[in-house]
Copies of this chain bind each other. A is one copy, B any other.
Amino acid sequence: MKRGSMNGQKPANIHDVAAHAGVSIKTVSRVLNREPNVTPKTRDRVLDAVQALSYRPNIFARSLASERSFIIGVIFDNPSAGYVAGIQYGALAKCREEGYHLLVEVFSEGEKDLGERVLTLVRESLLHGIIVTPPLSDSPEVLSALKESGTRFVRIAPERAMPDTLEVRIDDAKAAFDMTSHLIGLGHRRIGFIIGHPGHGAANQRFMGYKAALENAGIKLDPKLCVQGYFSYQSGMEAAERLLTLKNRPTAIFASNDDMAAAVLSTAHKHGLRTPEDLSVSGFDDTLIAQVVWPKLTTCRQPIAEMAAQAVSMLAQPPADKDAPKEALLEHELVIRESTAAPNA
């Protein structure tokens, strides 16, 4: 057995490699970190030794000595499983490329000592950077703790802009505008809207987009048609209930995310309404649910994984780079499926 592990042998360290290659540890370090000033020949000898001893640098020692960390953190507050999975998938792919690891933490916005906990996380584990997902990306406590810590962070889909802060987003207002326009194009005039969670950044933007599209088409906004939701399936059912029992009920409902849209479908069904014949329904996000419900949901695809990958890239960039873009704006895409059609079609 060539590597020392099972049988109580300690794994090789940088000194072993140096000895095996007949060079100094500094040279090994240079090779490993791709620093200049190493002859190809020396480099090969070192690489051979690394191979032979199956050496892997100790990440803790590296971090301790260099004051850099190779771990990127991502923090969540309970969003949908599909959203979490999408973010992680994208972040992990890029992390692998860039040589980082991904540490996950969940915080709930309500909890005591939220700022304190965030500080502990970044300080104790010396994160290289941190990805902040909504609704945490607009939490004052989280944000000020992060600022105080000096750790670089990227906010995903934040509502409010912040100076000197990295952001990744789509144009939520434009996306909602497009979706609403799609409905209007189909011939709908009475379009219900289920607003997202009040604290969630993108929620407001989407609402704005909806209103702008109505105005653009010369349709007067009916406040009765706009009801508050919280991005949860449950809240979607309650909102749908209110909209569908209206005297003059809408012919289409645009929900701010897929979970709520799925709830609308189910509620409409319960009321004996067919989709899309009697009621068109559209969602937002294009998570798995959109394709699993019947009929399949018309929705707006948000490139969640790419957003996370982008966030990792920004973090991987050297902070000194003044010219690096501070904000990345990614493209959304309307996905027209079977849940929307012309009214009374």
Contact = CB atoms under 8 A, between A and B. Distances in A.
A67 B57 CA distance: 14
Contacts of A121: 101
A81 interface: yes
Residue among A82, A101, A266 with max Cβ neighbours from chain B (10 Å): A101
Q: Chain A interface residue count: which class?
A: 35 or more
A149 B5 contact: yes
B64 A58 contact: yes
Contact of A64 (B64, B106, B129, B262): B64
Nearest to A84: B85
Contacts of A103: 71, 101-104
Contacts of A84: 81, 84-85, 88
Interface string A24-61: 00000000000000000000000000000010111111
Contacts of A6: 147-148, 150
Given A64-B60, A64-B61, A84-B85, A3 B148 contact: yes
Given A151-B1, A292-B289, A294-B266, A125 B67 contact: no
A89 B64 contact: no
A150 B3 contact: yes
A289 B289 contact: yes
A294 B271 CA distance: 13
Interface string A221-264: 00000000000010000000000000000000000000100110
A303 interface: no
Interface in A144-161: 147-152
Contact of A126 (B3, B67, B92, B126): B3
A126 B58 contact: yes
A123 B58 CA distance: 7
Nearest to A79: B85
Interface in A307-345: 319
Given A67-B1, A81-B84, A292 B102 contact: no
Interface of A: 1-6, 11, 54, 56-61, 63-64, 67-71, 80-82, 84-86, 88-89, 92, 101-106, 119-121, 123-129, 147-152, 233, 259, 262-263, 265-266, 269, 287-289, 291-294, 319
